[in-house]
Amino acid sequence: MSSILSGKKVLLGVTAGIAAYKAASLVRMFIKSGAEVKVVMTPTAKDFVTPLTLSTLSKNPVHSSFYNEEDDNAEWNNHVELGLWADIMIIAPATANTLSKMSTGNSDNLLLATYLSAKCPVYFAPAMDLDMYNHPSTHETFRKLQDFGNIMIPAESGELASGLVGQGRMAEPSTIVSFIEKDILGKLPLRGQKVLITAGPTYEAIDPVRFIGNHSSGRMGIALASTAANLGAQVTLILGPSSLKVSHTLIKVVPVVNAASMYKAVVEAFDTCDVAIASAAVADYRPKNIADQKIKKASSTFAIELERTTDILKWMGSQKSTQFLVGFALETENEEKNAKEKLKKKNLDLIVLNSLNDKGAGFKSQTNKVTLINHKLEIKAFELKTKTEVAKDIFNEINRLRNV
C-alpha cells in the first residue's frame, strides 16, 4: 500500500507551543507514509521538544538558527535551499505569534525565512488557547494567510492547556496527515480518471524452453503508470515479463506473457478507460507452430515459420470513442516521417518518438530522449531525461491537449 505522500519531500516547521510534543508523532507518520522529512524549529520550540528527538525520527539534521553559534567555521543554514527543497511545507503547531509574523512578512527566525522562500503548498495547523483563537486579530490572520494561498488545517475542540474547553487544540497528527493526503488527491488533474497502460516485452514461445522476445524492461511504462497514479488516476498496467516491481494503491497490475494475452487484457479494459498509452514492445510475429517438446539440434540450419500477431494499437485506434490514445514509435531511420505515418495510420492523439540512434534512449536504459507529435502534427522535442521525468512530460502534454 502506498500513500500519495510517498516520495514527497515534507518540510515540518515546529513553533513554541505545548502541542510541539505532537511533532514527534507527526514526523513518524510522514515517514511511515513514505515521505522524506526535514524539520525547522523556532529557537524557543526547543523548550517543548528536543531537536535530537526530531532528528532521530526524521533521520535528518534539525535546524533552528541561521548558523551554528558554537562553530565559527560552520556553514550557514540556507533558508532558500530548504524552501525550494520541499514539495510540501507544514507548520504544526502554528502559534498565534508565528502566524501573525507569517501574515506580515516578518522574518526574524529561520523558520519564517524558510516559509517566505517556499515555492510549494504550505499548510498550517493552529494551536493556541480558546480566547486567542477567537480573537478578531487571529481570524484576520487566518484570512490573510489563506488569501496568500496557504491551507489551514482547522484546530479541534477539547480541553486546552489552560484548563479551558473549546476550539484551539492542534489537530491530531493522524488528522493532519489525512487532511493533507485528501487535499492533494482532490486537486490532482487525473482524479477520478481511468488510465490504461501497456508496458514491457512480449514473449512468443517457440517450444517449452525458447521464445522470441525483445530487450524491453518495462521501465518506461512503469514510470508512466506511477506518474498517472501520482496524478490521481486509477491505473491498469498490463505488463509483459519484467523483473521490475510496481507498488501503488492506485495501480492494478495485469501480468501477461505474449501478444495474445496482452490483446485479451486490453480488450477487457479499453472500453472504460479515459486515457490509453501503448508503451509495450509487442512482438509483430509469433511462431505459427509451437513445439510440445524442446527442439533438439539436428542440422546446421533451422527455420521457423512466423505469423502476424494482432496489432493491439491499431485495434485500439479503430475502437476508440472518447479515449485519448497515445502510442510509441521506436525508430532507427526516417524517424519523424515514420512516426507521423504511424500516428495517422493507428488513429492516435499523440505519439512518443524515440530513436535508437540517440545515446541513452531505448531499452533497459534509465533515461530516454523523446519527441512528442500530436494529432495536429505539432512537434515538441525534449532533451535526454530520466524516464520518470519523461513520463511527467508526456502527461503534461496529455493534460494540455485534453483541456484545449
Q: What is the pLDDT of residues 346-358, one digit of tens each?
A: 999 999 998 777 6
Confidence of residue 71 (pLDDT cuts 50, 70, 90): very low
Are 242 and 378 in a shared domain? yes
Lowest-confidence region among 43-47, 128-132, 313-317: 128-132
283-341 tens-digit pLDDT: 999 999 999 999 888 888 889 999 999 999 999 999 999 999 999 998 878 889 999 99
Return d(Cα 134, Cα 157) in angstroms, integer.
12
Does any domain span residue 3?
A: no
Return d(Cα 292, Cα 92) in angstroms, integer.
66
93-122 tens-digit pLDDT: 999 999 999 999 999 999 999 999 999 999
| pLDDT reported for residue 29 | 96
User: What domain range is 91 assigned to?
Assistant: 9-186
Does any domain span residue 283?
A: yes
pLDDT at 371 over 50: yes
Are 395 and 253 in a shared domain? yes
Return d(Cα 3, Cα 153) in angstroms, integer.
19
Does any domain span residue 298?
A: no
196-214 tens-digit pLDDT: 999 999 999 999 999 999 8
Are 201 and 287 in a shared domain? yes
Cα distances (angstroms) measured from residue 280 to each of 5, 174, 306, 320, 385: 28, 40, 20, 18, 20
Cα distances (angstroms) measured from residue 149 to each of 5, 109, 144, 145: 20, 22, 9, 7
Lowest-confidence region among 34-48, 53-67, 226-240: 53-67
| pLDDT reported for residue 153 | 97
Does any domain span residue 300?
A: no
Are 182 and 211 in a shared domain? no
Are 118 and 241 in a shared domain? no
Compute the average pLDDT of residues 16-33. Answer: 95
Of 154, 186, 218, the last residue of a domain is: 186
Of 160, 186, 212, the last residue of a domain is: 186
More reliable by pLDDT, 157 or 308: 308
Are 221 and 79 in a shared domain? no
Q: At 223, which CATH number?
A: 3.40.50.10300
| pLDDT reported for residue 22 | 96
Confidence of residue 56 (pLDDT cuts 50, 70, 90): very high
Average per-residue pLDDT for the chain: 91
What does pTM read for this prediction? 0.75
Are 32 and 56 in a shared domain? yes
| pLDDT reported for residue 77 | 59
Are 158 and 174 in a shared domain? yes
Are 22 and 137 in a shared domain? yes
Are 181 and 199 in a shared domain? no
The residues that are catalytic are 214
Are 152 and 199 in a shared domain? no
Of 170, 186, 202, the last residue of a domain is: 186
pLDDT at 76 over 70: no
| Number of compact structural domains in the chain | 2
SS (H, E, C) the chain: CCCCCCCCEEEEEECCCHHHHHHHHHHHHHHHCCCEEEEEECHHHHHCCCHHHHHHHHCCCEECCCCCCCCCCCCCCCHHHHHHHCCEEEEEEECHHHHHHHHHCCCCCHHHHHHHHCCCCEEEEECCCHHHHHCHHHHHHHHHHHHCCCEECCCEEEECCCCCEEEEECCCHHHHHHHHHHHHHHCCCCCCCEEEEEECECCEECCCCCEECCCCCCHHHHHHHHHHHHCCCEEEEEECCCCCCCCCCCEEEEECCCHHHHHHHHHHHHCCCCEEEECCECCCEEECCCCCCCCCCCCCCCCCCEEECCCHHHHHHHHCCCCEEEEEEEECCCHHHHHHHHHHHCCCCEEEEEECCCCCCCCCCCEECCEEEECCCCEEECCCEEHHHHHHHHHHHHHHHHCC
Q: At 47, which CATH number?
A: 3.40.50.1950
| pLDDT reported for residue 269 | 97
Burial class (CB in 10 A: 0-12, 13-18, 19+), 159: exposed
| pLDDT reported for residue 361 | 63
Are 254 and 171 in a shared domain? no
